[in-house]
Chains A and B, each alone.
Chain A
């Protein structure tokens, strides 16, 4: 089996997106003979190479972080660069991964509707969209905390490498919680009242000596 991974994170090789696709690829390569290629849209202008790859690809995993409720601008650029290749590779398998920092995955379901529609433009075999929330800060989490998530991505990659499909039950687990339960909502409301703010962002603000300026208005 052959798979091309398109990494659409502006952070490219340092991205949380790559952490997740790496786990997926680990699983995928457990099946002997499977091959993969990886492109980073953040790297450089790859249009011609990406178009060539698209025409010949057997399967494609397009992965990106949620940016202002949809795909990052550079991913939209990539999509537009494929406009003249709609009938170039019918039957190509296309799947997506959308990760976001919001704890609930609901935010990403809107762009997922777009992605499903996008896949139909190519007469492709749509694999599905993997949606994962709560990813911001994953690289700072201790290994044991992120292990469960990465194991699931590895399993998903393994199943894909073996059967050529996304396992829907794993996708469902990864997207949990779609919405926050009453307890989690209460926690966030309480955190705001006691000005707990947000540990993750406060840590970064403080280490940049920017904590006192955190509520500054936009300035040029």
Chain B
């Protein structure tokens, strides 16, 4: 299985968060999981400009070349993607959020009915499962519920499902077992 982790920790000095992901990587390497962690803070990511070129001019392709080109490539090939970030002001970091915005070339502008709602149609053959790993700095559980619910919605629009939402206080082996069960 190909697992991609998008590490949205903006703060180099927050070793606790990075270490957790490193330990998780180490633990998963014993299993049949090909794992890659991308440190978003080291990359050049420009904001989505809302030009919709990726929908109506060059379908499937963002016309701005920044480091998200490689992220989309890795995303499209992955079987599972974990969005990882400390919760800052109650939600995932802005560097993770702007990366999420740059994933829209992977979906189609056309609308279809999913359940009883309109959602974007798929562009790719397959989409990775989505997981969420967060650090709850404020210790406010409402932040966790709100963020998890938003990721549940985000997953629907990325033609996927949110399969878990784990705090970094979760035992590494529990996260590994969960990932390994797919």
Contact = CB atoms under 8 A, between A and B. Distances in A.
Residue of B61, B70, B98, B112 with most chain A CB atoms under a 10 A cut-off: B98
B103 A77 contact: no
B69 A188 contact: no
B56 A208 contact: yes
A180 B123 contact: no
A102 B118 contact: yes
Interface residues on B, range: 35 or more
A67 B94 CA distance: 13
B56 A70 contact: no
Interface string B82-104: 00000011110111011111011
Interface in A38-53: 42
A214 B118 contact: no
Contacts of B119: 102
Contacts of B88: 80, 83
B116 A185 contact: yes
B111 interface: yes
A113 B158 CA distance: 21
B169 to A, nearest CB: 21
B164 to A, nearest CB: 18
A13 to B, nearest CB: 12
A188 B114 CA distance: 11
Interface in A176-220: 179-180, 185, 188-189, 192, 197-198, 201, 204-205, 208, 210, 213-220
B91 A215 contact: no
A10 to B, nearest CB: 4
B50 A65 contact: yes
B97 A188 contact: no
Given A68-B154, A80-B94, A210-B57, A110 B89 contact: no
Nearest to B10: A80
A220 B47 contact: no
Nearest to A117: B90
Contacts of B37: none
Interface of B: 47-50, 52, 55-61, 69-70, 72-73, 76, 88-91, 93-95, 97-101, 103-106, 108-113, 116-119, 123-125, 142-143, 146-147, 149-150, 153-154, 157-158
A153 B142 CA distance: 31
Contacts, number: 163
Interface residues on A, range: 35 or more
Nearest to A86: B89
A104 interface: yes
A149 to B, nearest CB: 18
Given A9-B50, A68-B154, A217-B124, A76 B111 contact: no
Contacts of B61: 216, 218-220
A72 interface: yes
Given A102-B118, A113-B149, A220 B73 contact: yes
A133 to B, nearest CB: 9
6 contacts: A74-B98, A179-B117, A188-B113, A189-B113, A210-B56, A217-B125
Nearest to B69: A220
Contacts of A118: 89-90
B157 A69 contact: yes
Residue of B50, B93, B105 with most chain A CB atoms under a 10 A cut-off: B50
Interface in A67-100: 67-74, 76-77, 79-80, 82-83
B3 to A, nearest CB: 19
| Top-3 shortest CB links A-B | A73-B98, A76-B94, A204-B56
